[in-house]
Every structure is written in C-alpha cells, then in structure tokens.
Structure 1
C-alpha cells in the first residue's frame, strides 16, 4: 500500500448489527408480498417503478428497481470491488412481456480502511427495459419480482424482497419524452459507448495499465472501473496526467494478475454524469511516468515559466503571514530590534545566513522530489508529511520549541556554558536554523497564488523545478532579509518590553496547536492498520518525556549535566514512536468438521473465522485484528489451529456449524478449547485485539 493512499485513510468505526435469518438454510427474511409500492427492509427501502403507467403492444417501457438507503450505507455495482455483491432481480412476468438485463448507473469508489468497493450511496435506480409482444391483449397486467441485495456499512446485511408493479397494456400508450424521478435520472447516468471520434489505447506494464483516451479536449478527471475482478488494485490511487486533447490514466495492476489480459472491459468515468463503457486490447509495454509532450512549457497549464517563478516568489512572501510561519518571522524581527545597536554589517550577515538556511532547506526538498520523480514516484509539496519518521521529529521539535516559548526553559541560557567564542558563532547558527525552521513549518501551509506555481514546477524539467522553488524560498526569506539590510524599518515593530514575554507565550499556543495537528496527521497514517490510536499514544508519551527533558534544562540551566540528560531523555523519547515491531502472519486451513475434530483430538484449541468475500466487516476485522502482531503471536504461542469457514457461497456444513453456536450469519468467530467436551466461546461481531486476546487466555486455561 503506497504512502499517498495511507495518508488518505480515515479512522474506522464499526457497528455490531447483523441480519438474523433462518439458521437451517441461511435464508434472509423476505419483505413485501409482491404488491405494488415501496417496502422497508434493514437500512433501505426497495420499490419497483416505471416511467409510465401503461405499455403499448409491440412497444417498450422503462421500469426499474429503486433502492433508497440510510445514511452511510451502500449497495454495489456489477463489479463490487474488494468485497460485496450487486443487486439481482428475478422476474415472473405475464405472457407477452419480456424483461431485459438490469442496467447499472455510473458507480463511485467507496473506501473503507485498506479496501475499496464500487457502488452507490443515498439512492440508486437500476433500469430494466420491458418489451411487449405485438399480439398481447390490452388490459391490466402485474409484474412480479424477487430481489436480492447486499447492503453494507462496516457490516454487510443480505436482504430479499418480493416486489410487484401493476401496469396496463394500452394501444394508445406513449413513451415519456422527458423522463423524471429517480428512474429518469438513472437513465441519464448509464454509461455510454465511446464516441466514434474518440480513441483509446491501453498499454500493460509490469505494475500498471496506462489508458490513453483522446477526446479532442483536455480532460482533468478520470477513473477506471473494470467489469472483471482481480484485474486492478482496487484501493490503489489512479494517477491522472491531463493531455492537450484527452487524458492519460495510470491504473495499478492487481497483485493477483500474473499475466496480462488480452483486453480490458470496463468504464472510464470522467465525471459523476459522464462515463464510457470500453473494451480495448492491451498492448504490452512500459510508458515512463510523467512523460511530457513537446508542447512548449506552460502550454498545457496555461502559465509560463516566468509567470510560475513570479507566482512562487509572491507566494513565498505571503507564506510569512501564515499562522505557522508568522511567529518565527516575528520573533526574528524582535531579535533585530534588540540588536539594533550592533554593526550594520553584522545584521546583514544574519539576514544572509537566515536566507541561506531557507535556500538550503528548499534545495534539499527539491532534490528529494526530483529523486522520487526519477524513480517513478509522484510526490507533491508537503510530501514529507506523509512520512511517520518526519512527522515524529517535526512534531517533537516544535513541541520542544513551544515549551521554551512557554517559559519552561531558555534555549539560549542553556547554551551559554559552551563559551563566549562559541556563543558568538551560535548567533549565526541560530539564524541559519531559524531559516530551516521557517521552511519546515511553511510546507504544510498553502498560500494564495502558490499552488499553481508548484503544480507547474513539479511537472516541468528539473531546472524549472529548481528555479520555481528557489523563487519560493527567496520570497519566504525576503521580509527578514529586507529588515536586516534596513534596520531603520524595525521602528515599525513595537519596542521591546514586558509584552514580549506575553507574545512569546501566545506564540507557544500557536506552536502547540500545530503540534496537535501534526499528531492528528500522524495518527491517520496508521488508521488503515487499526493502530492509529496506539501510535498516537506512543507519540504522546514521547511528548511527555520531551517535557521532562525541558524541565531538566529549566531546573538546572547552563549546565552540561542537564544538557546531556535532556539529550538522552529526548533520544529515548523519539525512539518510542519510531520503533515499529515486525509483524507476523500464520496460515489458515479451510474449515471442515474433520479438521475441527482432528485438531481437538490432537489437543489443540481451534479458532474458526466464519467469513465471506461479500462481508466487508469480515475483511476489516481480519486485516486490523486477526492479522495484528499481538494476536498472531498469541495464536502461535498457544498452538491454536486456525480454520477459515468461507461462506461466500452457501455451504450447508458451515450453516450447520453456525446454527450449533446460535448464529445464522457472518461475521462470526468461535474458539473451541482443546478438550473435546469443552464449550465453544463465541466472540462478538465487532472484534478488538483485547477481545480476542482475552478469549484466547480464557479458552487455553480450560
């Protein structure tokens, strides 16, 4: 899973509700009696509708299944994605009436943790075209339909309904010219064939498909949905490269796809209302990432190189006004006020060293960006915030700095013991690293006019990228540099006084707020693994130890012993969130009664995972809990036999075992003790590591 994808991931919430059906045959309760009108099922309402009340002999009429869902629940497209199952309809029709296949409107990507489904939220209508025979007799008719669906949120609930629709066969019936309602809207959202003047080519590489769609105009948004499963990595980011007359879409291949298919069949979605159904051959080959045409620089983006440099410079100046940067600049300006009696040449030197610190920091960032781009990766401004290590170090450094501003200790006082000559040099060192700090805290901010310039720079040749980022750095450095060359301008700043201490403390609040935001970002990097809270707790413990280090500096200022102790404490503090234990996984055996009996006869406890491919919460429980290092370690230590009861397709043996523990659906988790006479321990649908670990301890003691 790539870094960009993990940054996008949210903290998962679960619900422990599941449908209760007949245990003997795993049938879900059917709602509705076959009559017209909507019926209410769990988390949705289902109804058959039509565009008109009558159909003419030999004519056609659009009818459809409308599902209105509760908030945050969804149903599936024809290819459900990583898990799920699309709705299905079985008709019982009067003689002379035939029904075409159910059609699916344009879907959306529905992420849940590390998985990605394709489907619909809120409401959706699935059109079906009815055809009446020419010799059908006029009069009332009734359509009867059995409907199946799977509705999911964090848990998945199968549903069934018996629906009906009453119509009239009328020779005078006409087709509505302007379809209305949910069904009418769905008809406008059906994928269309690729226009005759459009051209599509697909190149299949080792790790991705590259789709080049030429439409005659620039396209800025696109997504690909395959009709066939296990062709693409559903949850991976699809990279868009706009072309002057179309779009290039990079779609990562599925890890299970070991051989290139002869063709791809799917949808290319350009917006919520425009999608094309395509079938095109796949040509083996590799197309380098971010390859550019010979179009003059800036022709596609609408700006020139000089414009981008100017915007970057102006954006850098505006960055100084951002809440994350302004306190740094203001404190540096106050330092100028306090040192206004120094020689002008020395003040200028401080300004130049500060500027050098910003330039060097920006050049390092640009070098990393260019190295990533050369390696085929795409990274943008602020990409370092996607690194857990960088976030830990940045957040800890700002927290330490904020403690000093709040008055816990004085950084300068703690360094006075180094000696007079070194203290003089420390002034320039401080200016340099103030520039570094300004760059670090500036990267999360986005100033007006800066986004277009950076987006342009990251897609251009290396020398343009360097030039644009250098202009951005100079813009960021300009205000302080001007003050250092014109010390008289510092008269515009307030005079030193008691207010400065209050301002420092207010500035500390701003930095503490920044630290909270960085901690929030850090926690979200691990939300896909279900360990975001654990990692956040480690980071908070790191902050606590850094506060202890700051206390040592404040309690015994200007002493080598306190400085050494603070460094040691801070080092241990950083190691707490940075240490990542290695994960382990164990193999699961397919469930059978024979495997269960053999394991218990051999004296092994047994853990059975009753799951299904269409059960999204089953997949999430498995990835976030059952695969976790702590649970896997306990499985291994207690010699637990792991059985997976896959209920994706109906299995009477699995149904019987579910019934024996009082359950009728998945997810279900059961632990059997080694003793053949011991009772099964049935766990809740909502799993946590504590629940599983406690159950393992309880069962292994029997």
Structure 2
C-alpha cells in the first residue's frame, strides 16, 4: 500500500510541475541551492555539403537531479525546442543521446544525470542570409520535486560566422550515442499476454542492454527481458499489467542502447502475427497432421495390412476384434508418449530438434530400408520372421497375446516420424517452439489422428463387413501391399544412395522454373544482397525425401500461369536442398521457428523479413501472395 501511495505521489508531483513557482531567472547554478541546473546553447560548426549547422544544448545538473529523454517513460516531460520565432530555418532537429533507466518503485523513467548534451542539426534555408531569432527550450528537471525549465536564447549566426570549435568534439561524443535506424527485428508476435520480439541472428546484445518498447502514443511496455536461446535473441515484454489501450495500436518502436551500438526500429505486429494460439485450432491441426500421416508412403502399407488382418478376423467375436485394435492403438499412443518425453528431454538439455530430418541420417535410413524390405518379402512368403523360443515363452507366460498388434502400433509411429505431410509442420512448429506441455499435447493429439482409422473400427466393428469375406482377393491384396512395401524400400534406398553420393543419384531436373541453387554456406547473405538490388525473391527449401515438396512443385509452382507470373515480375527463384544434412539450412529454419519442410517464402522491399506461405500450396494462395508483396 505504501509502495502504491509513493508511486501516486511521484506522478502527482511530475504532472503538476507547472505549479512550482520557480523559473530560470530565479536560479543561480553555482550559489543557490534551489538552482539544480545550468543550460547553454552552443553552435560549433557548419557542414557546407549538408548545409547544416551542428549545435547543442549543454545541460549540467546538480547531484541526484535528472532531465528526461524524448520518451520520459511513466512520468515526466521531454525536452522540446520551439523555433517559431527563428527565421531562415528549414529544420532544427533536437537529438537525444542514449539515456539511462531510473526506477522509483514501479515507476520507470528514462533520462540523464550530471551532464548531457542534446545535439541539434540545424538546416538553413538561404545560405546568404543569417539565422536569427528567439529560440525556446522547454524541459523538466526532477529530484524529489520536478521543476519546469523555460529557457530562451537569442541566436544570430550565418555560414560566415566563426564558431567555437572546442565544443565540437563534446557534441560529437554525445551525437555518437544517438540511436540510428536499423533493420534488426526478425518478427514480433503477441502470445499469451506477452509481446515476443525475435531479433536477427547477426544482432548480438548483452544482458546490460537498455531496451525500450513504445507504441505510437509514447506509452512504454513496463517490463522487458532479454533472452538468449539456441543462437537466437528474444525480447519479451509482459503485458499483464498494461492498460489495454497500449495494444490498440499495431505500430511500435523498439530502441536498444548498449556500449557497442545504439539503434532503433519501427515495427508492426500484423493481424497474421498476432495469432493467439487457440487450443481448439491446435487440437484440430494436430489431429489432421496425424490423420494425414496414414496416407504417406511409409505408413500406408502398414495401415492397409492392419485393415486386411481385421478382415481375416471377421468371423471372430466383436470383443476379440476390439481387443486386437485396442493393442494396436495402445502401441501408437505409447510410442508417441515416449517420443514426446524424449523430445522434452532433448529440449530441456538445450538441443534444437525438428521433424523429418531422420532421412538425413544414413544409419536410420539403412535400418528403415532393411525393415521395410523385410516386411515386404515376409508378406510374399520369401521367409518367415520367427521370434526366439525364450521370447515366445515370456510372451505367453505374461499373457501378452496381442504383442504383435502392440508392436505394429510402434512400427506405424516409427515409419511416420520421418514423413512430411500437410499440417505436420504447423503442428510440430507450435509444439517445438512452445512449452513442454505444448509438446505433450500436440504429439498425443497426433497419435489420436494416426489411430483414427483403427478407432473407427473399434467403435463400429460392423464396418468390417463392408469388405468382402476373406478369400483369394485377400491374398491378392496382401501381395499388392507387399509390392507397396518393396516400392517404399526402393524409394528409401534411393534417398540413402543420395546421402552417400548426392550428385550421381540426384533426381533428374525437369522443373519449369529456372531455380538458382543457393549455396548458403558460401553465400549466407544472398537474400540481403538481392533485396538491396530491389529484387523479388521466392525461396523454396526442399528435399528428395519430402513428398509434400514434390507435390507443391509438380502441381503448383511448375504451373504455367505461375511460371509466367514469375517471369513477368522477374522473380528470382532460390532453392535450398536439404536432402543431406546442412547445419546452415537447419539454423535458418530454426530462426524462423520452423522445424521441418516444405518451406516457401517470398521476399521483397515491402517484406524484407519474408512473407511465409503455408506448407501445402495451391495456385490461388501463390497468386494472392504475389499480389500482396507486389503492392
């Protein structure tokens, strides 16, 4: 309560400072204890090329007194210049050097103590005439009370005036700390009452950095934190104590002050970026991601075989069928649970993880290729997979009669994890960029989606009757599934060969788009270089093992209308190939909070940080994106 009362009293003293019956003429800096400041106006030089004078407001303050920055914070008034009575002025900008942060209980303000020089760049209208008139400087200095400063300077000088150059270096010292405009914000989102700003990878800061975030009404975000995570820098501002008015604007300014650099950037948080991750949205996307995995080349043969095995059980009791399905579903849920726990452990240990990059691991590919070929040949009757007698004994002893069903669920998950599919990237990106709870939730909902076809038969076993009774057709169907297994094995083998010798086994290039193969290791700044030439760029991160990437290229990007638009607009198509492991590409994806591919993005002068496209493309989405970045 006392803390709150003191805060209120501070604001009252600040906001009613005009009631103090003190003026500059009443004060004497050297002799009078009531005089906390001394202020001078000095012109130090003239720049013939820029037609500007360099001047400064010199402010000296007594101990513990302060004068404010251009945004004083939660209390106080900023210094201002009034040029209304000065002639021959085109512009006279009062510049603000790097400030310090002051805290009085919960009240945060920004300003200067002891001594500060406010540099001024004065642009003359007519070089043949003098600048003259009455310059007014208004400010506020505070300690336990706040005093208004109303200082007037009669000025008269021209391009021929000889200035006191001894002050020039002093002014320049403070001028060097004035923040300059720079492009360093990668993206900003509002999530769970937090404003999260991700800075670009080439922007390094320290914990001592002063960070100021404000909206266009000069309201500041009261609490900000700097976080260093996996080679990325994040600024987080907590909004729970903010007035809702601060969020009505989508235009913000971020200023950063450190020993090495002082910069600022105006940025926006668009409606697309202000995406409150709705629980229902995530559940739906995660479910669809798991469901779509059923139709990927790795999983489809296993699912089809399980359905045919259910058909062979059509003569059995419903309870027996449900028991078989239950253990299959249990295998899927258990394996996804282990996967989520393993992912949480890796994230806790500080590792960056993604989805689908298992295909870059030759040992995983060898294991998976052998496994898929073995299943295919086993179905064709080339050989039988027999468990050792000891294992069978313990299985029977502990009544694990549905071990095969349970293990088939594990197999489905094992084959699903490397697969890329629509919705998978969105779901996994949310999970891996979120908290541990997000990982657990997304993976378990994905397991529900993967299990959905089996669950349909669990709750409605009569659906099995839509299939013909077991007979010769079933043998033919099993051979067809075996063929799918063998084709999947051949596909996996081709990827394995590319990992060993990429150039020799790379697929033939029949693309209609003239891709520029981007070597990110040799040209890490290629996008920046092209943007500096005012180019429009289309980036495609792909891989030979990415089925969705193949679909996007074949049915959308290579569409004649899209190719024509690319050519007419002189779009530069860049392509990164992630078939083989590449740390730089991985780092690029993680910097964008994407943890898998496909990845497609436009860059232009308007969208220097990129305009990201959905995983599954269509012609309409691509054309709308082109029109947006063009306009």
TM-score by length of 2: 0.38
Larger radius of gyration: 2
TM-score when normalising by structure 1: 0.34
Where relative contact order (Cα < 8 A, 6+ residues apart) is larger, the structure is: 1
